[in-house]
Amino acid sequence: MTLLYLLRHGAIDWPEADCFIGQTDAPLSAEGRRQAGACRSELRNLEFTAVWSSDLTRATETAGIIFAGCAASIRTCRELREIQLGEWDGQPRGRVRESHPDHWRARGEDLADFRPPGGESFRDLQQRVVPQIARIAEETQGTACIVTHAGVIRVLICHMLQIPLSNIFRIRLDYGCVSIVAYSPGRVEVCALNLRPSNLSCSPGGEIGGPHDPAQV
């Protein structure tokens, strides 16, 4: 059995609130660095045989804080990037809603397959992410940590639990929290969702969640 710890990066530094942040390469905020430090304190006693990260700055910075000085080197991967939002990337939601009401309505009617101009749909994202996660699981002996994004983790969980992508935002994922999935021959399992660092030393059935932050995709 292979265990994958799916870690959402820490909070980002971005000048405007409530924006679409897909592949816009925002850095961590001071709060995000604190969150990464809290994860480091809880994960340091676990033995990871592999560490993977999205190649976007907020993910690599999170991984660098957590795994500085660890034996496992950090491998980056473009397939672990957040959804590509094209012309909407980095834009405030309210501005997009007001400027493109037809597109906004179309997104609400077909969340799974709507593509912003120049961007991906959540189904596109799922088709990019699921094979890459499966490859990581197949080549990992033991436990791996994957530092990535909310959209990536959500589409994977939807795939594993056979949840329609139209329900993707019913899966809560806070900054700096961990979800755990297990891969065995012929079987995949979701063991835990949205664990705060303080709960990582508990079983996957322990308390989950923390102060909520809005999803930014």
What would the two tokens of residue 70 be? 């660890």
**Which long-range contacts (C-beta less than 8 Å, at least 24 apart) are formed by 90-97?**
90/19, 90/20, 90/21, 90/24, 91/19, 91/20, 92/16, 92/17, 92/18, 92/19, 92/20, 93/18, 93/19, 93/20, 94/18, 96/20
Residues known to be catalytic? 9, 82
